[in-house]
Amino acid sequence: MTARISRWALLLVIALVGTVLVAPPSQAALPYSTLVSLGKPTTASSVESPAYPASAATDGQASTRWSSANGSREWLQVDLQWNTQLDSVSYDWAVPDPNVSTQVEFRISDDGTTWTTLEYDFPQGPSHVVVGNLQGFRARYVSLYTVGHASVSDLSVYGTPLVDFARGKPTTASSVEGPHFPATAATDGLLSSRWSSQFSDPQWIVVDIRRPKPIVEVDIVWETAYARSYRIDTSLDGVTWTTVSTMSKTSSAPDHVTLPGREVQFLRVYATARGTQYGVSIRDLQILGPPVP
Ligand SMILES: [Ca+2]
């Protein structure tokens, strides 16, 4: 009973002040923020009729709208197609059904499967809702998840699409398991290829991105042979290294490591302990930052 009361109290507070549920990581705003949702693939749980498709919410035209069937749970989702540093989101709640209680959860996701709810809104009547100050959050998918009949004339996501500076850049490693598992396979953009080390500790892999770039995230897709403990080191010259993150893992799940956006030319994943009897193996290593002229 106590838990239930607390939950309703929380929802009441959220309803009153529109509280962001999850605090963003500390992160300065990036320049280059643009409207990144315009014309991007947009899907929905249902449509009221073919006249109200999901894509109408991201076509940039106020006169068109997505409208759901009269289900109890509906959603609208835009795929930004790139991992994006978010800035702000707004949506125009067009015609909520007056006969149902309306609640909108604003959600983001890296993969379209695992979602983080950032805010609850309770739009009363047609309204323009702004979910601001999202600096520090990154996502590829943005979703509105609603209770009751939904209708949205516009969903606008502003942010900065992040670039993978590692793709195709010179990549070296402490060792390889064999000729089919070179270091460069971690930065070729293919999940089918991978770097794999010899079966000992420690092992490392280094990417030279050729010019200093502001790095805000490192994404690692591990093969089954993950690193149980590793750190991320960065350098401007490949000689003097600074440890910017230390990680401990219990599975081979992918990692998304947030970094402070400092300029870096070399990045090293330094594995101090293997997670299996095999070596350390990475299918994909992405070093992400905003596009820099
Ligand atoms: Ca690969």
Give the range of the structural domain holding residue 67, as residue numbers without chain letter: 2-161
Q: Is 171 buried (19+), middle (13-18) or exposed (0-12) by CB count in 10 A?
A: buried
Closest C-alpha among 177, 173, 196, 193 to residue 185: 193
Together in a domain, 22 and 102: yes
Together in a domain, 26 and 124: yes
| Tally of domains within the chain | 2
Together in a domain, 37 and 156: yes
Centre of ligand 1 to C-alpha 52, Å, is 41
At residue 243, the pLDDT reads 97
Centre of ligand 1 to C-alpha 109, Å, is 23
Together in a domain, 26 and 141: yes
Centre of ligand 1 to C-alpha 283, Å, is 4
Q: Which pTM does this prediction carry?
A: 0.70
| Residue where a domain stops, chosen among 142, 161, 180 | 161
**CATH code for the domain of 178:** 2.60.120.260
Centre of ligand 1 to C-alpha 74, Å, is 37
Length of the chain: 293
Q: Give pLDDT tens digits for 13-43.
A: 444 444 445 655 555 555 568 899 999 999 9
Q: Give pLDDT tens digits for 69-124.
A: 887 789 999 999 988 989 999 999 987 776 666 789 999 998 889 999 998 888 87
Answer yes or no: are the C-beta atoms of 65 and 153 closer than 8 Å: yes
Q: Higher model confidence: residue 132 or residue 118?
A: 118
d(C-alpha 124, C-alpha 33), whole Å: 30
Q: Give pLDDT tens digits for 217-243.
A: 999 999 999 999 999 999 999 999 999
Residue 164 bridge partners (DSSP) = 288
DSSP 8-class letter at 23: P
| Residue where a domain stops, chosen among 134, 161, 188 | 161
| Residue where a domain stops, chosen among 146, 161, 176 | 161
Tell me whether strands 263-274 and 227-235 are parallel, antiparallel or unpaired: antiparallel
Q: Higher model confidence: residue 192 or residue 147?
A: 192
Together in a domain, 136 and 171: no
Centre of ligand 1 to C-alpha 183, Å, is 9
Together in a domain, 12 and 154: yes
Between the alpha carbon of residue 269 and those of residues 120, 149, 242, 291, the distances in Å are 38, 48, 12, 23
